[in-house]
Amino acid sequence: MFIEEKLILTRTSLQCRECKKEYDNAFKYICDECFGPLDVKYDFPQITKNTFTNREHTYWRYFELLPIENRSNIVSIGTGMTPLIKANNLGKKLGLNNLYIKNDSVNPTFSFKDRPAGVAVSKAKEFGLSAVGCASTGNLASATAAHAAKAGLPCHVFAPSTIEMAKITQALSYGANYISVDGTYDDANRIAAQIGDSKGIGIVNINMRSHYVEGSKTFSFEVAEQLDWQVPDQLIIPVGSGAMLNAICKGFEELETVSLLDGVSNMHMIAAQPHGCAPIVDAFKKNSKEVIPVENPDTVAKSLAIGDPGDGRYVLKRLAQYNGCAEECNNKEILDAILLLAQTEGIFTEPAGGVSISVLQKMVEQGKIDVNDKVVCYVTGNGLKATESIMEILKKPDVMKADISEISAVVN
């Protein structure tokens, strides 16, 4: 529920990321001149740390930093202000004194995708669109479907048929028209783009992408506020399309623009990808500016199985800008990291979060993170959405008779 208060509205426009041409805010995502992606540009009002005091505990507390012009168009299911956990147990194991886990597995649909989906569906409502949809590796399907249900809009999901059943079930439960594509995510993405443009559907991560990515900025806003407006030294971010990492950088930069932070340029960005679908890591390690797509992704981290990352080359630019690096981890390392996080901090993540934790371990082993660095590791999805993979390495419990002496003998 929103507190009644007078808000100074933020003026926004769209600006090409490549040629910098500006456009009025509209249902538009590609530059007419150079076909580059369009980003939301802000003319921010005066903002202080007190601006956000006594507001609702969702990411809509940062209304002035988001691209919705009229808050009556906000579609909220209670996303955001997720815990930033001081991970003392895991930190001790890894030799880190200031390790934090940003736990987005507790969002309403149990992943970080509630952030961008909420902004995109809200903007679709503001544009007066009659339907929304998405191309998805799983988490975005349920996030978009949930927000569409709240908004009273039809939702069309395009996703590869191989994603986890729990994610399919969740999206169907919200009433989505679920199109299961016999192919990769990139196949589903191509089909969604063509249908969205031809039928005027707001495909949140395609033709609504300029506004969609703004939701992921709220990761930056919350972490900064939860750290008492301090800038982290190291950020470990799981990467699929690359949009989240780019948005997190944009978010911190905007906080510096409105004078809520300083020293943002001292951050180090670490891009984490799974082996079998790590085109950005491959490009980084080859010191190449070209991200070569992976035709057939093969990884247990299905939510990161995006072979042709739309923001791939922009991630490489961000890594150069923030003196960062990129690293990958294999299936075994991912599953081991899931258990490590669960058994030290009580957080059960899906494989994408395991990628973050595994790469965190590698960075420590490689001496790229100092013992006293303020480290934020992003955990983006809940383990209950992808139990098939982790069950493969867990011992299934034996069924025992309800006999106290027999059971007592195995309890040490």
Q: Is the CB of residue 345 less than 8 Å from the CB of residue 90?
A: yes
Residue 2: band (very low, low, confident or very high) from pLDDT cuts 50, 70, 90: very low
Query: Taking the model in full, what pTM does it have?
Result: 0.94
Backbone angles phi, psi at 296, to 5 degrees: -130, 85
Q: Which two tokens stand for residue 412?
A: 């040490």
323 labeled binding residue: no
Cα-based angle 114, 75, 27 (whole degrees, multiple of 5): 90
Q: Is the pLDDT of residue 4 over 50?
A: no
Distance in Å from the first CA to the final CA of the chain: 49
Convert the pLDDT of each residue in 241-288 to its tens digit.
Answer: 999 999 999 999 999 999 999 999 999 999 999 999 999 999 999 999
Residue with the two structure tokens 């009644």: 4
Residue 11: band (very low, low, confident or very high) from pLDDT cuts 50, 70, 90: confident
Q: Is the pLDDT of residue 368 over 70?
A: yes
Q: If you average pLDDT over residues 218-236, what whole number do you get?
A: 98
What amino acid occupies position 399? V
Q: Is the pLDDT of residue 342 over 50?
A: yes
Instruction: Classify 103 as helix, strand or coil.
Output: strand
Q: If you average pLDDT over residues 53-77, what whole number do you get?
A: 95
Q: Is the pLDDT of residue 5 over 50?
A: no
Q: Is the pLDDT of residue 72 over 60?
A: yes
Residue 3: band (very low, low, confident or very high) from pLDDT cuts 50, 70, 90: very low
Q: What is the pLDDT of residue 238?
A: 98
Q: If you average pLDDT over residues 67-94, what whole number do you get?
A: 97
Beta-sheet pairing, 22-24 with 11-16: antiparallel
DSSP state of 180: E
Q: Is the pLDDT of residue 289 over 90?
A: yes
Q: Which domains does the chain have, with CATH numbers?
A: 84-110+213-392 (3.40.50.1100), 113-209 (3.40.50.1100)
Q: Is the pLDDT of residue 9 over 80?
A: no
Report the mean per-residue pLDDT for the chain.
95
SS (H, E, C) 298-333: CCCCHHHCCCCCCCHHHHHHHHHHCCCEEEEECHHH
Convert the pLDDT of each residue in 114-131 to its tens digit.
Answer: 999 999 999 999 999 999
Q: Is the pLDDT of residue 22 over 90?
A: yes
Q: Is the CB of residue 109 less than 8 Å from the CB of residue 169?
A: no
Q: What is the pLDDT of residue 8?
A: 54
143-147, 348-352, 398-402: least confident range? 398-402
Q: Is the pLDDT of residue 172 over 50?
A: yes
Residue with the two structure tokens 């679709």: 124
Other C-beta atoms within 10 Å of 193: how many? 16
Q: Is the pLDDT of residue 303 over 80?
A: yes
Beta-sheet pairing, 98-103 with 374-379: parallel
139 labeled binding residue: yes
Q: Is the CB of residue 74 less than 8 Å from the CB of residue 122?
A: yes
Q: Is the pLDDT of residue 158 over 50?
A: yes
